[in-house]
Structure 1
Amino acid sequence: MQANQQSILHRGKLIPLPLLNVDLHVSPEFTGRVVVHIKEGRQICDYPLREAEHINTLSGFLALARQAGWMVIPPE
């Protein structure tokens, strides 16, 4: 048996995944990326990202900066 996006294989049985309904506060013409903050299974807020906005972890950002030739030196 194989798991898919609607179910998960647990101890040899397919179990349906629970669905979380979210309401996005964007216009019908919107095309882009949206960050959704979910806490304890409930939507807290949503934020459409602008074209120039990106999300990354601190370690990912530092690795990207180093790849771009920046010297990343921690404070003493």
Structure 2
Amino acid sequence: MPSPSVARVAAPWSTRVTTVPDASATPTGLLLRPDGVVAWATDVPDPVGLAPVLHDWAGAPSPEHAPVG
């Protein structure tokens, strides 16, 4: 499962970004572009810098998004 804080930060982009479970211990969060290139990664639970990268790659947050959890 992605870090809860990563999923929470990504929730406003849930109409364009999908969080998926992973059995690996690291990285805690990983944002892959559609072409498979890593756009952002972290191995710490606090996803500092994720929101600006999501904005760059997925645009403005959606006004309505899927609930986290």
If asked which structure has higher relative contact order (CA below 8 Å, sep 6+), I would say 2
Q: TM-score, normalised by structure 1?
A: 0.23
Q: Which has the higher strand share?
A: 1
